[in-house]
Chains A and B, each alone.
Chain A
Amino acid sequence: MTRVVLVPGALALLPEYAGIDDPVRNLRHACQTAVSWLGRDAEVLADDQGARVGQHLLDVTTRSVEQASYLVVANGSARRTEKAPGHLDDRSFAFDDQLREWLHGRGDPPDQALGQELLASTTGFSLMAERVAPWGSPVVDFDDDPFGVQYWVMRWEVP
């Protein structure tokens, strides 16, 4: 069995951007808990920026099991509210709903070009499709858009 964890590529998770108060405390906790579940030599699937987030999460967690593992760093639309980084785009909701269904092992992935317009970070999803598919329903540790950006923390165990 291969263990797979999905986390978002929020730069606020990196120590060089830490403030006195942590604006992503709940997300960080969910990410670290999920990443701790991976095997010792987990491989990061992400774009360059996401890879930094993934490597940091691997560095700050203790993983003891010997099991093939992937850490996917990707997230949905960054245009879900007027205060979101990319301002509001109503197409975000259908896009993220389709993406969520796909992450649950149902249906097709959403249109990549639309994802770019919505500032979604999807490289990790593409790499996940190449390396992990097919997968079933995940354990969902986090599903929210606290800053107008759709974050998921999910775990799969796939044959």
Chain B
Amino acid sequence: MTLRLGRHEFADDATLMMAIVNRTPDSFYDQGATWAEEAAFERVALVAEQGAEIVDIGGIKAAPGVEIDEAEERSRVVDFVARVRAAYPSLVISVDTWRASVGEAACAAGADVLNDAWGGADPELVDVAAAHGAAIICTHTGGVTPRTRPYRIEYDDVVRAAIDDTVAYAERAVAAGVARESVVIDPAHDFGKNTFHSLEITRRLGEMVATGWPVLVSLSNKDFVGETLDLPVGSRLTGTLAATAVCALAGARIYRVHEVVETRQTVDMVWTIAGRRPPLRAIRGLQ
């Protein structure tokens, strides 16, 4: 099925890099490196140059912290979306928000995708996506409250739970009027999950792909990588790429990333090993 992300369409065998652009002073990976608008805009320019198909603009860090109200989130995101839209018409713009009101303003400013990282916490978000012809990312969080860390959460079967919740969310989005080809599911590594859960999700990602909904994975530098290798943020790229390779082999379509170039190379390599993409240029032994 062709994937339609707002104004943009992609073939059903295309893999997409979604570059993270934080308009936050305190996100875990970059510690506010792109908090200033100009720095964030330079980040967009960089990742577009590196070949990212999507930018995911977020105004609130995922972890607990100072409360950011709706007005503050809007001020961080909406005008910036409009600026990116004007400068990069061919770039897919995603907005990382769980609030329907912020999603509404972002779509009006030119966003193509609503990335609901908190799994439907605001039930009206799907209506906003439907009204604007936007795509929606349906994540699994185990029902936790936005911006909370998991605490003693257990599942009978975390993969079954992730599939059941994201597919139900996807069907709810379609019922609300979102185009079927504009719905993506995301198991949401680390969200509502301990490291063992995220590892199992990674190991069994093929079961999510088998649902037929396009799958997004957000693995980049996360704690499950850090705990697996006992490495701090800043030293998790190799582990991230290993997890990326496993998800690519399973058939994940969209990769939410900090490092665009390294992830693109990893996904292209695995996609080619899997026989879904030809080598870029093959002549060895064929002269």
Contacts and interface: CB of A to CB of B under 8 A. Distances in A.
B286 interface: yes
Contacts of B281: 19-23
Contacts of B283: 12, 23-24, 147
Interface residues of A, number: 17
Interface in B253-287: 277-283, 285-287
B51 to A, nearest CB: 14
A149 interface: yes
B286 A20 contact: no
A148 B287 contact: yes
13 contacts: A12-B283, A12-B287, A17-B282, A18-B278, A18-B282, A19-B279, A19-B280, A20-B277, A20-B281, A23-B282, A78-B287, A85-B287, A148-B287
A149 B278 CA distance: 24
A11 interface: yes
Contacts, number: 38
B278 A19 contact: yes
Contacts of B278: 18-20
Interface in A18-50: 18-24
A147 B277 CA distance: 24
Interface of A (DSSP majority class) = loop
Instruction: Tell which of B280, B281, B282, B287 has the most Cβ of chain A within 10 Å.
Output: B287
Nearest to A23: B283
A10 interface: yes
B287 A20 contact: no
| B-side interface size class | 10 to 19
A18 B279 CA distance: 8
Interface of A: 10-12, 17-24, 78, 84-85, 147-149
A17 B285 CA distance: 10
Interface of B: 277-283, 285-287
Contacts of A148: 287
Nearest to B277: A20
A12 B280 CA distance: 13
Contacts of A23: 281-283
A84 B285 CA distance: 10
A12 B279 contact: no
Given A11-B287, A78-B287, 4 more contacts: A11-B286, A20-B278, A22-B281, A24-B283
B275 to A, nearest CB: 12
B282 A19 contact: yes
- Going nearest first, the 5 A-B pairs with the smallest beta carbon separation are A147-B287, A12-B286, A23-B283, A11-B286, A21-B281
Nearest to A22: B281
A148 B280 CA distance: 21
A17 B279 CA distance: 9
Contacts of A18: 278, 282
B280 A149 contact: no
A148 B282 CA distance: 16
Nearest to B268: A20
A10 B287 contact: yes
B279 A20 contact: yes
Contacts of A84: 287
Contacts of B285: 11, 85
Contacts of B277: 20
A97 to B, nearest CB: 20
Contacts of A78: 287
Q: Which of B278, B281, B286 has the most CB of A within 10 A?
A: B286
A149 B286 CA distance: 11
Nearest to B283: A23
A20 B278 CA distance: 6
